[in-house]
Amino acid sequence: EAGVAQSPRYKIIEKRQSVAFWCNPISGHATLYWYQQILGQGPKLLIQFQNNGVVDDSQLPKDRFSAERLKGVDSTLKIQPAKLEDSAVYLCASSLDPGPSYEQYFGPGTRLTVT
Amino acid sequence: GQQVMQIPQYQHVQEGEDFTTYCNSSTTLSNIQWYKQRPGGHPVFLIQLVKSGEVKKQKRLTFQFGEAKKNSSLHITATQTTDVGTYFCAGRRSNYQLIWGAGTKLIIKP
């Protein structure tokens, strides 16, 4: 079974530039999550999709971050414009269901450096 | 807001010593999951606890869920170099939202 795919793996941009990340979840997984993990901290949920609908985006900085999951499969996360504090690893995860019994499978992450 | 506090932030042990990390929630959780993240890697699911007072074992790892379903612990017996990494708890609220602890980093002293 293929895992969660993410690209790119690394990205370096200057502040005020834009960047986009892509995620393809495990086949058949209805729920997709985007997390931000700052060095030395735990993952912080940015947005959770079930199929192509948003379940939770309460911690997404909507003035600069946006995400979509067209057709309920793969997803993109965009930052525009980027700030220095956005430097982090952006993790995508998927699970069969958002219900309480389902573990999350994580992709390798995209390491973003904003200079 | 609801938080999951995890302690300690770091633990240095000699190889062969035991390791324990604790998670505490301000409110009752539906369940709690534990993940391990190796240096430079991504979180990998270890286990899920659902029932009050539940105890589960995986070889040298013992996981406990408190009677009030507000706290949990992970204990590793006789640590090995392969145990190095950061251990996260993630507590699930009744609305299915997963709240992550800050993690405990296990460091094996040379």
CB atoms A101 and B50 under 8 Å: yes
CB atoms B92 and A100 under 8 Å: yes
Quote the mean pLDDT of chain B.
94
* Helix residue ranges, H only, chain A: none
Which residue matches tokens 């525009």? A80
What's residue B78's pLDDT?
A: 97
Distance in Å, alpha carbon of B28 to nearest chain A alpha carbon: 14
Residues B44-54: what's their mean pLDDT? 95
Tens of pLDDT along B62-101? 999 999 999 999 999 999 999 999 999 999 887 777 889 9
Greatest C-alpha distance within chain B:
44
Rounded Cα–Cα distance for residues B90 and B34 (Å): 6
Which residue on chain B is closest to A57 by alpha carbon? B97
Residue B91 contacts A where some CB pair is shorter than 8 Å: no
* Residue whose C-alpha is closest to residue A36's, from A90, A107, A114: A90
| Contacts with B100 from chain A: Cβ below 8 Å | 42-45
Angle at the Cα of B68 (from A105 to B70), degrees rounded to 5?
Answer: 45
Quote the mean pLDDT of chain A.
93
Distance in Å, alpha carbon of B31 to nearest chain A alpha carbon: 7
Range with the poorest average pLDDT among A61-65, A94-98, B38-42, B53-57: A94-98
CB nearest to B103's CB, from A42, A55, A107: A42
Where chain A has pLDDT below 50, the residues are none
Residues B5-13: what's their mean pLDDT? 96
What is the share, in percent, of chain B residues with pLDDT greater than 90?
A: 86
The answer on pLDDT for B1 being more than 60 is no
Judge contact between B73 and B4, C-beta under 8 A: no
Residue B45 contacts A where some CB pair is shorter than 8 Å: yes
Rounded Cα–Cα distance for residues B38 and A98 (Å): 25
CB atoms A100 and B97 under 8 Å: no
3-state class of A64 per DSSP?
Answer: coil
What's residue A70's pLDDT?
A: 83
Residue A27 contacts B where some CB pair is shorter than 8 Å: no
Look at the alpha carbons of A88, A93, A99, A100 in this order and tell me if their dihedral is positive or negative: negative
CB nearest to B42's CB, from A55, A100, A106: A106
Distance in Å, alpha carbon of A111 to nearest chain B alpha carbon: 10
